[in-house]
Amino acid sequence: MLAVAMHRNPRTNTPLATVLEELQSAAALPFDQAHPIPPSVNHSLEFLDYEREAVFQQEWICVGREDEIPASGDFLTHQIAEVPVLIVRQPDAEIKAFVNACAHRFACLVPDDKGSGKRFTCRYHAWTYDISGQLVRAPYMEMKDGFDVTRHRLRPLRLATWEGFIYVTLAENPSTQLDESLAPLREQVVGRYDMACYQTVLRESMEWNANWKNLIENFTESYHVPIAHGKTFAQHNKPPQDYVCGEDSAHYCYHRAPQAAETGLGAAHPQNDRLEDEWRRMMIDFCVFPNHLVTLMPDYLWYISVQPLGVDKMYATWSLAVPPEVLADVSEADFDDWLAQFKHYMEVANGEDKALVEALHRGSAAPLLPAGVYHPIERNLWQFMRYLAGMCKS
């Protein structure tokens, strides 16, 4: 990730106390009287520091998918609130997470996004760890009296999996358990898709000039889809009247709508025996708070894990995964072309959103604005604001 110069605006220096007060009063209004999230929440430097601790250091953050690291020694790296993390598949199939920093003088240990190995050797002084994070070799440390390699290891982090996704938390005692907090979402809505069987085919990243919450705002409403996504998602033909927003939850939000077509992209493959009736052409957009965004379709899923790089810069990883019956239709010879086309489709969709997400950030920098208003199918934005207010109580 790159360090970037921040552009100051009239809201950059809004004091934390003011932001918290604005956020609490905005979140206290019922949905039919609510206004969009106070702009200072997406611009204040003090709030950026605050949310790093109050949100990103407390919550479960999606770092990837289980099928990306199928074999012992397969690993992924990620960042959570600028803390480098390393996720490794163990010989007994368990997945472990560590702070990706050497136990000697804390150099970032594994530089690659992804890979496989039996050992991790630090590039600095060659301290070497096994895949359980245990130090196994430390050159010349026999020169230090009493040094014992077995007493040094990588710092472990808590990890959980849910529906094929891997989440890591920096919290020593997380206040929520994912299985429990997401149970209604699984049982009533997404469980029938069996997302764990989807196979990841692509992992990409992007940096946009906006606050990370601007992307959450954009992704969790489909009001803009018919207008903004003419080259991509609008072709699924889902009129705004058909959208249903899910129940209020402190842990997630979602909305869903069936597309018109029963075949083609967005519809279940004929061999999909998991989905019935209208669910065979149902799209679900959901967010596992704070920052895991998923578009779930009967024939693919697209997810994003977004984080702040500054008040005006966000970094996101995004991936595509498809269920086995869809992948089985793609021959080995056609795979690269099929994937390139799919990737292109998502890049066009991302491009359609990027301009709008950056516009949200630029426009909301103005010191004087109207009160703003929500469309009924923007209820997920109000739900996210209430979640955020709940995490930012002091």
Among 35, 114, 125, 224, binds ligand FES (CB under 6 A): 125
Among 7, 35, 52, 104, binds ligand FES (CB under 6 A): 104
* CB-nearer residue toward ligand FES: 121 or 209: 121
Which option in Fe ion, ligand FES, none does residue 362 bind, with CB closer than 5 to 8 A by kind? none
Which option in Fe ion, ligand FES, none does residue 201 bind, with CB closer than 5 to 8 A by kind? none
For residue 65, which phi and psi values (nearest 5 degrees)?
A: -125, 150
* CB-nearer residue toward ligand FES: 124 or 335: 124
Burial 144-183 (b: 16+ CB within 10 A, else e): eeeeebeebbbeebebbebbbbbbbbbeeeeebebeebbe
State the DSSP string of 154-187: PPEEEEEEETTEEEEE--SS-S--HHHHTHHHII
**Binding of ligand FES by 231 (CB under 6 A):** no
**Binding of ligand FES by 86 (CB under 6 A):** no
Site string for ligand FES, 105-124 (x = CB under 6 A): x-x--------------x-x
Site string for ligand FES, 260-299 (x = CB under 6 A): ----------------------------------------
Closest distance of CB 371 from Fe ion, Å: 24
- Binders of Fe ion among residues 348 to 377 (CB under 5 A) are 353
Q: Are 182 and 252 in contact (CB under 8 A)?
A: yes
Q: Which position has the token pair 């480098």?
A: 84
- Binders of Fe ion among residues 100 to 159 (CB under 5 A) are none
- Separation of alpha carbons 313 and 212, rounded Å: 7
One-letter amino acid of 391: M
Longest dimension (CA), the chain: 73
Q: Are 136 and 154 in contact (CB under 8 A)?
A: no
* CB-nearer residue toward ligand FES: 120 or 289: 120
Name the nearest CA neighbour of 110 among 77, 156, 149. Answer: 77
Residues in contact with Fe ion by the rule CB under 5 A? 353
- Name the site residues for ligand FES (rule: CB under 6 A): 102, 104-105, 107, 122, 124-125, 127
